[in-house]
Amino acid sequence: MNYPDYDTLREQYEAGNINAVDFVTLQSKEMTEDYEQFCHDNDIFPQSEEAAKSFLDFREALFEECISN
């Protein structure tokens, strides 16, 4: 599968053309797998907008932690 570039996805998400689940799962196979594992580990429904937003928050926290070390 060819994935759109991140900037295009971000623009589509911010414009409301795609939801958070699509924003996460259209980034890459690896991101989708990470998201599915996150949902499994946290016992949350992967098609939920709230689950995708929680995953994005989780990823942002990991990034912040990495750059602060």
Distance CA 39, CA 67 (A): 25
Tell me what pLDDT residue 68 has: 84
What mean pLDDT is predicted for residues 17-29?
Answer: 96
For the stretch 24-69, pLDDT in tens is: 999 999 999 999 999 999 999 999 999 999 999 999 998 888 888 7
Spatial CB neighbours of 52, under 8 Å, sequence gap ≥ 6: 19, 20, 21, 23, 24, 35, 46
Tell me what pLDDT residue 1 has: 75
> Which residues form the domain of 63?
6-68
Query: Does 63 fall in a domain?
Result: yes
Count of the separate structural domains present in the chain: 1
Query: Does 41 fall in a domain?
Result: yes
Query: Does 23 fall in a domain?
Result: yes
Query: Does 1 fall in a domain?
Result: no
